[in-house]
Structure 1
Amino acid sequence: MSNSVAAGRRLAQRAIAWQAVATVLVALAFLVKGLPWSLAALVGGGAVTLAAWVAAMVALGGGVSPAGTAFARLLVGMALKWLLVLVTVVVALAVFRLPGVPLLAGVIAATLALVLANSIRR
């Protein structure tokens, strides 16, 4: 086996760290527009980062298992991830009335950071 569960956990931790850094950078950039804009970027990126952590815990939490079980955990983790992001975005927009542009910028930045972290080889 060339890919262990421990290697998957390390990759997930690295990607989550990249997402957190990207979220903070976007929030700092929106601080120029005001605190609500910066907070919206933090909420958007933070939702994706937290959801990625939840997905990683679900997908990698069971250790080594048969392919069907591992695939099911992966699908459940992804479904939970995007459900958490969707609920957070809806609540942030509808209940807390945060600005939508920085909220979505935070979501996009954290998602792109995940792609970037997984494409760079060490």
Structure 2
Amino acid sequence: MHDPIAAGRRSALRAAAVQAVVALLVALLFLAQGPQAALAAGIGGGALALGNALAAGVSLGGIVQARVAFARLLLGALLKWTIAIVVLVIALGVWRLPPLPMVVGLAAATLAYLLALNVRQTVKRTQT
């Protein structure tokens, strides 16, 4: 039996894993500037990867009514950005990490997530 919800959840979790790997690579690149810059870049990308993974789990929970599905989608998006913003505020305010590497990690993770979702679907369409 074909379950598009489960396939979407797997695709979103796979993209979040790609996002975490890219965050790690960006952190390794910033290691040349020092451990604080590397930590900031890793936290920036990792916060969004964690948020996207949790949002995928909440949003794509199964086949439900349209109102429930829309509420889950909104809750997933709210959860993702709440986690990302709270982690970034703690990293900037409490730990005093540099902001530029954090923003670079966040941007690289966002681009990686979008590319991972789109490349996966493009490959599937050309194979069928």
Q: What is the CA deviation profile of residues 42-97 of structure 1, one whole-angstrom value per residue up to 9, with x for unaligned ones?
A: 11111000000110111012x11011111110111001100111111111000000
Q: What are the equivalent positions in structure 2 for 1:1-122 lying under 5 Å apart?
A: 4-61=4-61, 63-120=62-119, 121-122=122-123
Which stretch of the first structure deviates more once superposed, 9-18 or 81-90?
9-18
Matched position secondary structure for 1:31: helix
* Percent sequence identity over aligned pairs: 51
Deviation at 1:117, TM superposition (A): 0.8
Alignment: residue pair count: 120
Moved over 4 A (4+): none
Aligned equivalents of 2:25, 2:4: Cα separation in 1: 32
Q: Tell me which protein shows more helix as a share of its residues.
A: 2
Aligned equivalents of 2:13, 2:59: Cα separation in 1: 13
Deviation at 1:39, TM superposition (A): 0.6
Aligned equivalents of 1:102, 1:3: Cα separation in 2: 40
TM-score scaled by structure 1? 0.93
Query: What one-letter code is carried by the residue in structure 1 that aligns with 2:46?
Result: G
Query: What one-letter code is carried by the residue in structure 1 that aligns with 2:52?
Result: A
Aligned equivalents of 1:6, 1:107: Cα separation in 2: 27
Aligned equivalents of 1:98, 1:104: Cα separation in 2: 11
Matched position secondary structure for 1:71: helix
Which stretch of the first structure deviates more once superposed, 47-56 or 12-21?
12-21
The unaligned stretches of length 5 or more in structure 2 are: 124-128
Aligned equivalents of 1:66, 1:88: Cα separation in 2: 33
TM-score scaled by structure 2? 0.89
Aligned equivalents of 2:23, 2:3: Cα separation in 1: 29
Matched position secondary structure for 2:33: coil
Aligned equivalents of 2:14, 2:94: Cα separation in 1: 32
